[in-house]
Structure 1
């Protein structure tokens, strides 16, 4: 079984809700688009999410430290069976800290979403930044 066009559009809408929630610092929206059993990783060494409370704590920290001006997911690949969907994408987040100049993080995201029967929720999330010491064509730094 593969995803229908309508399911794929619903998944994209959920991901866009995630991006909008960051820009608006909307904790309530984050709470509704993530599964109670969420798990995942952020790009920082201490950014480990074991449950919904960890997620909300991380999001509160994120939005308290910076203003997020834009979040975009590009080069998306969405695969699923109607109950579960796997999404990979390139991710960019444009932000500023304390009124400073805007900066952009360019990373990668993976998400697993589950269909609750009435909507899609994000059950797993991973955001990472490519390792700067690894050149194009290298599998390991210095290789």
Structure 2
């Protein structure tokens, strides 16, 4: 689990490493990051402005305030209609907070690498595919 991912209970996973460990928080509006790198926090204005903000974001996560359930539905439809690749990681209606993850080049590379390693291992095991799906 990445350090910014709330658990099912809404708290943030505590993770130790060579950097400073995160503290466990139950309020998603106070989620802190490891080190000095903090995800950008923006207030929702319009779907178009949010899309521009996402395009300008250098990291892979964005926190959006003032997102009501109605706004969430609008954003979901907008995202689908525009074919956008970002995804809604978590939505906290009580706090009107939406956490968006943005695929980066590194993120996509890691997915391809993982897919390759899994496929290779399954071929070593002699897997030939799932009936009706053909061989992979």
TM-score, normalisation: structure 2: 0.25
Whichever structure has more strand as a proportion of its residues is 1
Bigger relative CO (Cα 8 Å, ≥ 6 apart): 1
Whichever structure has more helix as a proportion of its residues is 2
The structure having more radius of gyration, on CA atoms, is: 2
